[in-house]
Amino acid sequence: MLAEKQAAKTAAALNKLTKSLTTNGVMPDVIPDSANFKPSYELGVKFPSGKKAALGKELPAAACLSAPSVTWPADPESFYTVIMVDPDAPSRDKPTQGEWRHWVVGNIPGAEVEKGEDLQDYQEPTPPPGTGLHRYVFLLYKQKSKLELSVFEGKRNGWNAHRWAKQKGMTLEGANFFQCQEK
pLDDT digits (tens, 9 = 90+) for 91-115: 999 999 999 999 999 999 999 999 9
CATH number at residue 71: 3.90.280.10
The whole-number pLDDT of residue 9 equals: 82
With 90 as the cut, is the pLDDT of residue 144 above it? yes
Q: CB count, 10 Å around CB of 4?
A: 8
With 80 as the cut, is the pLDDT of residue 1 above it? no
Quote the number of domains for the chain.
Answer: 1
The whole-number pLDDT of residue 69 equals: 97
Please compute the mean of the pLDDT values over residues 122-136 and round it to a whole number: 95
Specify the long-range contacts of residues 162-169, CB closer than 8 Å, at least 24 apart.
Answer: 162/30, 162/31, 162/32, 162/33, 165/81, 165/83, 165/139, 165/141, 168/81, 168/143, 169/143, 169/144
The whole-number pLDDT of residue 10 equals: 81
DSSP one-letter code for 42: E
Span 23-48, pLDDT tens digits: 999 999 999 876 678 888 889 999 99
Please compute the mean of the pLDDT values over residues 81-85 and round it to a whole number: 98
Q: Which domain holds residue 57?
A: 2-180
